[in-house]
Amino acid sequence: MRKKVTKAIFPVAGLGTRFLPATKSVPKEIMTLVDRPLVQYAIDEARAAGIKEFIFVTSRGKGALEDYFDHSPILEQELRKKGKEDLLEILKDTNMDSGAIAYIRQHKALGLGHAVWCARRLIANEPFAVILPDDVIAAEKPCLQQMVEAYEETGGNMVAAMEVAPEKASSYGVLDVKEDMGSVVSVNGMVEKPKQEDAPSNLAVIGRYILSPSVLRNLNQRKQGTGGEIQLTDAIAEDIAGDVPVYGYRFKGKRFDCGSKAGFLRATVAFALARDELRDDLMEYITEVAQVSRAAE
C-alpha cells in the first residue's frame, strides 16, 4: 500500500512586494478574493485532498496568518450572543485542531526549495504535498484531490502542469516530457525559468506538488540554481536520476496567478461571479464598463 499523503507545506514567507503598499502590514496570503483570504482557498483545497497536518513556512511580519487560524473568543462570543449562527458557521472553516498546524520560520529568503527544506523535520520520511497559495485554482474537483487520486496510481513525484504560451514559459518551471499519457505525463527533466529558446516544452509547473521525501534529501545539498536561489524544481528533477520518477499532471480547472495584480483581479471577478448573491450586480457593472469602453474605441 502506498503511504497516504497527509501533510502539506505552504510556503508563505515571501514579502509580497508586488502588492505594496498593502503588504507593508498585511501578509499577501491574507489578501482576499471577495471575502476569503488566499490562504483559505489553499487550506480548503488541502482538506479536500485528505491533508491533516498543515505546515506554514513563514517569515517576520506574518503574525496575522497565525491569528487567522486561531479561535477568536471575543468575536465568537459576540456573534453567539446576537444569534448569528451563519457567521459562526463561516468561521468554522478558519479553525484548526490543536496540533494540526505548525509554523516554521524561514530566516533568509533563499528560494522556494529552501522554504520547503525548512519543514524537513516535520515531514520526516513521508510523501507530502506543497501548495503555493498564490496559484488559486477554480475546479469542480479541487486540484490537489485530482492529483492525490492520480498519485495513488503512479507514486513517485507529481507536479501540477498546464500548457502556457511559449513566450510565457520563462516565468515557470518547465517540463521536459518523456511520455505523454494524456492527463499524466512522465518527465525526463525540469528547468526552472528557462529562456524562451531553451524551454523543453510549454508545459509549465503550477504550484501544487506531491513529493517524495527524497526531494528533501536532495535539498540538503542546498545547491543554488536560477537567480542564485535554491530551487524546488532542481531538487525534484534530481530525483529522476536517482530513480524516483517525476510526473506532470494536467489538472482540470482554471488557474489564476494571484501573485500578479492582473491575475488577482481576474480571480476576484471569477470568484465573485460564482457567488449567487453577487453575480447579477457585478455582471450589470461589467456590461456597463464594457459598453463604455467599446463606445470609446
Q: Name the residues that contact ligand G1P, by CB under 6 A.
A: 112, 132, 135, 172-173, 192, 204-207, 232-233, 259
Q: How far is the CB of 171 from ligand G1P (least distance, A)?
A: 7
Residue 140 DSSP symbol: S
DSSP β-bridge partners for residue 9? 55, 130
Nearer to ligand G1P, 79 or 135 (CB): 135
Nearer to ligand G1P, 156 or 207 (CB): 207
Q: Which residue is nearest to ligand G1P (CB)?
A: 173
Q: Residue written as cell 529552501?
A: 114
Is the CB of residue 177 less than 8 Å from the CB of residue 208?
Answer: no
Helices (H) then strands (E): counts for the chain: 11, 13
Half-sphere exposure of 231 (CA within 13 A, CB side): 19
Q: How far is the CB of 112 from ligand G1P (least distance, A)?
A: 5
Q: How far is the CB of 179 from ligand G1P (least distance, A)?
A: 21
Q: Is the link from the previous residue into 21 a cis peptide, with omega within 30 of 0?
A: yes
Q: How far is the CB of 41 from ligand G1P (least distance, A)?
A: 14
C-alpha span between 153 and 155 (Å, rounded): 6
Q: How far is the CB of 58 from ligand G1P (least distance, A)?
A: 16
Give the count of beta carbons closer than 10 Å to the beta carbon of residue 12: 26
Nearer to ligand G1P, 79 or 159 (CB): 159
Amino acid at 199: A
Q: How far is the CB of 225 from ligand G1P (least distance, A)?
A: 9
Nearer to ligand G1P, 113 or 156 (CB): 113
Nearer to ligand G1P, 37 or 207 (CB): 207
Nearer to ligand G1P, 16 or 79 (CB): 16
C-alpha span between 160 and 232 (Å, rounded): 14
Is the CB of residue 135 less than 8 Å from the CB of residue 208?
Answer: yes
